[in-house]
């Protein structure tokens, strides 16, 4: 353990001498209050430290003591439902100690050390040990389980960095704290309910799996047009007020992930307050209980120390990997990576590094890659399937998608949900623009969706093509008006409007429309494209467009989303029969006139 002295202070960057024996990224306690810092550069005997707390009043000559270990997260039962800051300090506990504003150096146990958990040992291992049979200690070995919440069971496993050997002892079922030894190996390595893991080090897995299962969100524009796979990475870029946070809230509530980790990285305090007050009252639709029973919140607002903002996303993804290794599907909401990149820029400037484009450090793409590449669907060491899906919000200044953070993010993600300010201003939510957005997971998840409905690929592509045609025609309409277009082109405008209002737009306050099941999603779009094809035939035969637009079926197509429940697919079939009958009669009448 090295002890040095503070030589120079530049805001959150501290230079200290006498730390030549410390390691890169070691945690350092600085000054009499022992504020937390991390070594980010070593030059002979001098260390450059980024400080994760307010260092106001810190003086040159203060002590700087290396702990000899990297910044790590405590992983075990008790994480679910907790609210942490960027370095995993429990905010509720710290609030009780120091009030609304945290005092420098204040500490709190990341997981309550006094709480007892009902540990249930792995019966198979217990029986083997009872028969004196050897049990090899290896990463992912299931020692037992703990009921963490009503919704989540925490599996107690051997950590990836174990020493190996054989298991000597496994405790019986009973109540234990996180500091009690529940198993022991012949190499005298104890195992507890909780363990430490460096946040900057990805947790290993047995092997990566193909991204061929979608993360079903219940949002039609995402699931059908721009799907995200389990273990995939997506970005939601958009200017102020376009609905990034709202979209992430909807995904967090309805997606079929087992665990939600919400990282408020550099966001405004009032926005994080909304999250902290709303999430405990949201009801998990799968269990009927509070959404917090499967949620972890990391709050690092814009007025908190900037260095902690930089590390907060690593803390969040480390927790996600912990639950992934249990066989859980985890979804991370990072809001927003732009504020995280701004923290990198400020710290880089304080360290006098050479700036790259728009002042961001040259290693911005590397750091973005390090974060997004920790997503993935994997086979765990104990043979289960788990995944970490990352959804990062990007806040480009002025909504300019050509700025560095957005452009570099696009290099490392395969799903891009571009928010459109015009749609947001028109109160069209989610305001995901269908022209600028894309998903490279569509081909990967195609087999899954075609099991739901074989028509998924065809109707999806036809609808996207029609919306592109509508965009080109809209430019003409703005110049010369819609009456100058022939009926077949005006029909495209009509059907595109049906798709926008009846499919792409979704009401989060409508009991039926707030979540749309996969089968209903495809059937709705299939009905709309069937209507278009039959109407196009009628127009070609000479039917006036006004006669088609006057049909009650055309009006009802836009209302089906909120009229028919997810489980009532029979009503959709009945509507299709009724619509086909009306359109076929119209077609027949004009075929007869054509023949005459």
Q: What is the 3-state secondary structure (H, E, C) of 502-568?
A: HHHCCCCCCCCCCCCCHHHHHHHHHHHHHHHHHHHHHHHCCCCHHHHHCCHHHHHHCCHHHHCCCCC
How many beta carbons lie within 10 A of that of residue 237, not counting itself?
Answer: 28
Where does CATH 2.40.30.20 sit in the chain? 1-70
Residue 171 phi, psi dihedral angles, 5° rounding: -65, 155
Element (H, E) at 164: none
Whether the ω angle into residue 336 lies within 30 degrees of 0, i.e. cis, is yes
Q: Where in the chain is the domain with CATH 1.10.1140.10?
A: 456-595
Q: How many residues does the chain have?
A: 596
- Are 466 and 488 in contact by the 8 Å Cβ rule? The answer is no
Architecture of domain 207-442: 3-Layer(aba) Sandwich (3.40)
Any residues with CB less than 8 A from the CB of 423 and at least 6 apart, and which? Answer: 429, 431, 432, 433
* Paired sense of beta strands 174-176 and 181-185, if any: unpaired
Handedness of CA 143, 74, 281, 431 (dihedral sign): negative
Centroid of chain to Cα 328: 14
In CATH, what class is 456-595? mainly alpha
Long-range own/partner contacts, residues 178-181 (CB < 8 A, 24 or more apart): 178/74, 178/76, 178/77, 178/78, 178/111, 178/112, 178/113, 178/115, 178/117, 179/113
CATH number of 117-193: 2.40.50.100
Beta bridge partners of 335: 264, 393
Cβ contacts of residue 425 below 8 Å, gap of 6+? none
Could you read off the pLDDT tens digit of each residue along the chain, which spans 596 residues? Answer: 688 999 999 989 999 999 988 889 999 999 999 999 999 999 888 999 999 988 888 999 999 999 989 999 999 999 998 999 889 999 888 888 887 777 888 888 999 999 999 999 999 999 999 898 889 999 999 999 999 988 899 999 999 989 889 999 999 999 999 999 999 999 889 999 999 999 999 999 999 999 999 999 999 999 999 999 999 999 999 988 888 888 988 898 889 999 999 998 887 777 777 777 777 777 777 777 778 888 999 988 877 888 888 899 999 999 999 999 999 999 999 988 999 999 999 999 988 889 998 999 999 999 999 999 999 999 999 899 999 999 999 999 888 899 999 999 999 999 999 999 999 999 999 999 999 999 999 999 999 999 999 999 999 999 999 999 999 998 888 888 877 889 999 999 999 999 999 999 999 889 899 999 999 999 999 999 999 999 999 999 888 999 999 999 999 999 999 999 998 989 999 999 999 999 999 988 887 765 54
| Top-tier CATH class for 1-70 | mainly beta
What letter would DSSP give residue 169?
A: E
Nearest CA to 295 out of 151, 394, 177 is that of 151
Of 223, 201, 263, 583, nearest in space to 417 by CA:
223
Closest CA to 46 of 70, 66, 69, 74: 66
Residue 521: closest CA among 511, 509, 506: 506
Cα-Cα end-to-end distance for the chain: 99
CA distance readout (Å), 281 to 163, 264, 278, 286, 430:
43, 18, 5, 15, 22
């Amino acid at each position: 353990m090295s002890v040095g002295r503070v030589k120079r202070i530049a805001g959150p960057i501290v230079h200290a001498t006498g730390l030549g024996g410390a390691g890169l990224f070691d945690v350092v306690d600085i000054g009499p209050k022992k504020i937390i810092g991390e070594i980010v550069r070593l030059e002979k005997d001098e260390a450059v430290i980024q400080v994760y707390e307010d260092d106001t009043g810190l003086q040159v000559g203060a002590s700087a003591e290396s702990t000899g270990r990297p910044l790590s997260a405590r992983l075990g039962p008790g994480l679910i439902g907790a609210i942490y800051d960027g370095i995993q300090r429990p905010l509720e506990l710290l609030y009780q100690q120091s009030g609304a504003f945290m005092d420098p150096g204040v500490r709190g146990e990341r997981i309550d050390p006094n709480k007892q958990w009902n540990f249930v040992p792995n019966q198979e291992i217990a029986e083997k040990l009872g028969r004196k049979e050897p049990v090899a200690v290896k990463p992912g070995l299931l020692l037992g389980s703990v009921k963490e919440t009503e919704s989540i069971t925490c599996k107690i496993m051997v950590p990836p960095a174990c020493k190996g050997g054989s298991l000597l002892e496994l405790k019986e079922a009973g109540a234990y704290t996180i500091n009690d030894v529940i198993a022991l190996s012949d190499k005298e390595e104890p195992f507890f309910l909780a363990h430490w893991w460096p946040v900057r080090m990805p947790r290993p897995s047995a092997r990566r799996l193909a991204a061929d299962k979608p993360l079903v969100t219940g949002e039609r524009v995402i699931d059908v047009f721009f799907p995200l796979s389990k273990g995939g990475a997506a970005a939601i870029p958009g200017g102020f007020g376009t609905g990034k946070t709202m979209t992430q809230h909807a995904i967090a509530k309805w997606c079929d992930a087992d665990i939600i980790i919400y990282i408020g990285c550099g966001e405004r305090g009032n926005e994080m307050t909304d999250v902290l007050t709303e999430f405990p009252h949201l009801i998990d639709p799968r269990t009927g209980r509070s959404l917090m029973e499967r949620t972890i919140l990391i709050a690092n607002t814009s007025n908190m120390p900037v260095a902690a903002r930089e590390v907060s996303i690593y803390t969040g993804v480390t927790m996600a990997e912990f639950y992934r290794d249990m066989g859980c599907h985890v979804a991370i909401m990072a809001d927003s990576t732009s504020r995280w990149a701004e923290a990198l820029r400020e710290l880089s400037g304080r360290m006098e590094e050479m700036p790259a484009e728009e002042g961001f450090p040259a290693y911005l793409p590397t750091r973005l890659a390090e974060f997004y590449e920790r997503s993935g669907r994997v086979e765990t060491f104990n043979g289960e399937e788990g995944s970490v899906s990352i959804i990062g919000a990007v806040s480009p200044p002025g909504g300019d998608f050509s700025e560095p953070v957005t452009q570099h993010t696009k290099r490392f993600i395969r799903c891009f949900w571009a928010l459109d300010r015009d749609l947001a201003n028109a109160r069209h939510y989610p305001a995901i623009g269908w022209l600028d957005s894309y998903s490279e997971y569509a081909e990967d998840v195609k087999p899954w969706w075609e099991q739901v409905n074989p028509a998924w690929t065809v109707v999806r592509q036809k609808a996207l093509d029609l919306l592109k045609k509508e965009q080109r025609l809209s430019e003409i309409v703005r110049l010369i008006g819609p009456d100058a277009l022939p009926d077949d082109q005006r029909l495209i405008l009509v059907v595109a409007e049906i798709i926008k209002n009846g499919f792409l737009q979704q009401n989060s306050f409508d009991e039926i429309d707030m979540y749309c099941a996969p089968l209903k999603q495809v059937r709705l779009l299939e009905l709309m494209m069937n209507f278009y094809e039959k109407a196009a035939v009628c127009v070609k035969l000479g039917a006036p467009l006004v006669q088609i637009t006057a049909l009650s079926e055309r009006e009802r197509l836009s209302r089906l989303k909120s009229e028919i429940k997810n489980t009532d697919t029979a009503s959709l079939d009945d509507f299709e029969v009724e619509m086909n009958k009306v359109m076929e009669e119209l077609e027949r009448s004009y075929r007869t006139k054509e023949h005459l």
